[in-house]
Amino acid sequence: MESLKMAVDYGIIWLLALLSVIALACAIERLYVYQRISIRDFREKRALELELTRKLHVIATIGSNAPYLGLLGTVMGIMLTFHTMGTEGFMDTNKIMVGLALALKATAVGLFVAIPSVTLYNLLLRRTKVLLIQWELAHGREGSQLH
């Protein structure tokens, strides 16, 4: 069961930390692209849209899955606590509280990764929509019209 404790402490929490860095790096890269992009360089709206939405799915995926990874860590931490309680019989409440704190730490880290990731995704998506509308206005088009 010590390996389960290590998996929660180091595996899941470090994975969430890595995903947080990846989401932040993608968001910074996208902001840089949005500042440098010239919508006049694109003749087709679809080509602009492809360039603007590149890597946004990575941020969205991290934001939507981080809480589940945190929940997985929570379940594993609670399983570890119950296993320890079952094998040792009567347990000191301090050991129980430490096990539950470990479990809740994973949930907190999952939310700590998810909330900024989803926020960044929404802000970048809004910026993408603004740039696409600016392209339409600059090119005198209403976007995709059905005939």
Range from 3-17, 59-73, 119-133 carrying the lowest mean pLDDT: 3-17
Q: Would residue 69 count as lying in a domain?
A: yes
Q: Is 41 exposed, middle or buried (0-12, 13-18, 19+ CB in 10 A)?
A: exposed
Number of folded domains that form the chain? 1
What are the tens digits of pLDDT across the range 33-63?
999 999 999 999 999 999 999 999 999 999 9
User: What does the angle CA 121 – CA 9 – CA 26 come to, to the nearest 5 degrees?
Assistant: 20
| Mean of pLDDT values over 133-139 | 93
Q: Would residue 45 count as lying in a domain?
A: yes
Q: Would residue 84 count as lying in a domain?
A: yes
**Structural domain of 37:** 2-138
Q: Would residue 124 count as lying in a domain?
A: yes
Q: What is the pLDDT of residue 67?
A: 96
Q: Would residue 78 count as lying in a domain?
A: yes
pLDDT > 60? residue 145: no
Amino acid at 120: L
Q: Would residue 74 count as lying in a domain?
A: yes
Q: How confident is the model at residue 146 (pLDDT cuts 50, 70, 90)?
A: very low
Q: Report yes or no: 12 and 70 within 8 Å, Cβ to Cβ.
A: yes
pLDDT > 60? residue 1: yes
Q: How confident is the model at residue 114 (pLDDT cuts 50, 70, 90)?
A: very high
Q: Would residue 143 count as lying in a domain?
A: no
Other CB atoms within 10 Å distance of the CB of residue 104: 15
- Give the tokens for residue 120: 């960044």
Cα–Cα dist 50/16, whole Å:
28
Q: Would residue 144 count as lying in a domain?
A: no
What are the tens digits of pLDDT across the range 68-112?
999 998 998 888 888 888 888 777 788 788 878 878 898 999 999
Cα–Cα dist 118/106, whole Å:
18
